[in-house]
Amino acid sequence: MSHRVLSPNRNYTTCHNPHDQQLVQLCGSIFRFLEEDVAVSSSPGNDILFGTQQDKENDGECEEDPKDIEDKIKFWETQYENLHTTLFRTTILESEIRNITKEVLRDFGNVCSCSRPVLDGCPSCRMREICRQLQKSGYDSGICKSKWNNSLDFPSGEHTFLDVIDNSNHKKGSVRVIIELEFRGQFEMKKGSKEYNSLVCKLPDVFVGKSDRLQTIIQILSNAAKECMREKKVHLGPWRKQRYMQAKWLRVTERSTGTTTIKPLVDDE
């Protein structure tokens, strides 16, 4: 059979198979096709067409749009600027309360009044001491407890912190100053991006500021958390949303001054 294929001068009429000539022509076509295929695949330029070029096309699909990159940079720069402006704009009242709070924390011993040896004291004892010192300085200070029920937007929870209510300015009405001893920790996220974590690092560990200033900070950090999760394509937990964070300091159900307890104080949506 091989001899017949490679001998084009053979008399095909003497073959036992009347279709031998067609088989010879078909085999020759196959051999030519295989030779051409080998030549094409071994051509120096084909690694670009079938290999490197394809990789470039695949890489191009993963490249981020320059406009998206520009928008991302602009977004985070805006958040940094807004947060910086909000944090460093302060009033005399806030500065006075902040100084007293820092002084109490600096002088606070390692053993609480409850006789529990905890580093820097337990939170409840620290809050009571700060509240007492602020009252001695003439401020209407209290320990607040916020509590909210489970809803479609976010789960239930509760939070305890300090505040000062100032009524010295009769024209502007009462001013409420929030004191949060673990402020930065309220916004930290394990899955936070580099940009988000840098923003959180700008927050003070101990926050002393008016309620409207606090709401501005919450809005900035909530928008940043939402954008962070969108960039990472991860679902934003309901406890990271703006309304949940606001509920920690604005939905107060109990305020204790040490001698009196008022229920409720604030029920702000």
Q: Do β-strands 261-262 and 252-256 pair in parallel, antiparallel, or remain unpaired?
A: antiparallel
Q: Is 256 helix (H, G, I), strand (E, B) or coil?
A: strand
Tokens of 184: 């930065």
In the numeric block, the tokens 């999760």 are attached to: 229
In this prediction, residue 116 carries a pLDDT of 58
The contacts of residue 142 (CB under 8 Å, 6+ apart) are 131, 162, 163, 164, 165, 255, 256, 257
CB of 43 closer than 8 Å to CB of 24: no
Q: Where are the domains of the chain?
A: 2-54, 67-262
Neighbours of 223 (CB within 10 A): 15
CB of 131 closer than 8 Å to CB of 142: yes
In this prediction, residue 199 carries a pLDDT of 96
In this prediction, residue 33 carries a pLDDT of 40
Distance CA 269, CA 246 (A): 8
With both helix axes pointing from N to C terminus, report the angle between 92-107 and 123-136 in degrees, rounded to the nearest 10.
130
Side-chain-facing half-sphere of 124: CA atoms under 13 Å = 7
Residue ranges in the chain modelled with pLDDT below 50: 1-61, 267-269
DSSP state of 9: T
Neighbours of 87 (CB within 10 A): 17
Query: Which residue, 175, 145, 140, is CA-closest to 160?
Result: 145
Tokens of 23: 């088989």
Distance CA 256, CA 135 (A): 12
DSSP state of 50: I
**Amino acid (one-letter) located at 24:** V
